Amino acid sequence: MITIYHNPRCRKSREGLALLEQSEKVFKVVKYLEDVLSEKDLKTLISKLNIKPIDLIRKNEAIWKSDYKGQQLTDEQIIKAMQKHRKLIERPIVVNGNKAVIGRPKELILEII
């Protein structure tokens, strides 16, 4: 099952969702600003993306700049920051089985669907 972690207010996320809709494949939408991701969920996503937690952070978000930028944070602290401030999570994220991509650019989604 394909899953997209989606923020409806984000243009890039909407573009990723549109790409999935056009593919006519079956998929599930997780609005991660509403549906809280657990620490385990985030760790699983990070593992499937094959990245470090810091690479899933939106570093231009005001909350990152004011509360976290310039600090030496552990992976656990970064994951807890994403749990607390879900806007920090890069989007969209598309998962298909054991593979995942951040859909920036949206064409990366095509590689796993």
| Distance from C-alpha of 4 to C-alpha of 77, rounded to nearest angstrom | 25
Catalytic residue ranges: 10
Both tokens of residue 94?
């598309």
